[in-house]
Amino acid sequence: MFTTMFWILMVWFIINVIWMWFATDNQNLQKTFAWINVIAVIVGFWVYFGTVKVSGIDTWFNILNYVNIVLAIVQFYFGYRNSHTMKHS
């Protein structure tokens, strides 16, 4: 389960970053990705701390969990930022 979940989360992370990068102006997509990332982080930490660790990828799994937190924060920023610009006179 540990190895399988690591690779699922890794593939999700790569797809998520690529898709996010090309759609930074799509707030609905950013919100959706951010909330999916919250679920991925919860599952990631649950698997990391709740199952038997596999030597060799356990450190990378933990790093992936924390990087997903940072990515979710960035996505929440892009998703919930104010899209109105202020006009200066």
Q: How does pLDDT run across 41-63, given as a tens digit for each residue?
A: 999 999 999 988 888 899 999 99
Per the model's pLDDT, the better-predicted residue between 83 and 75 turns out to be 75
Query: What's the token pair of residue 54?
Result: 């596999």
Query: What's the token pair of residue 8?
Result: 């699922």
Query: What's the token pair of residue 56?
Result: 């060799």
Around Cβ 16, how many Cβ atoms within 10 Å? Answer: 20
Distances from the Cα of 62 to the Cαs of 42, 67, 69, 70, in angstroms?
Answer: 12, 9, 11, 13
Quote the pTM value.
Answer: 0.81
Alpha-carbon gap, residue 36 to 30, rounded angstroms: 10
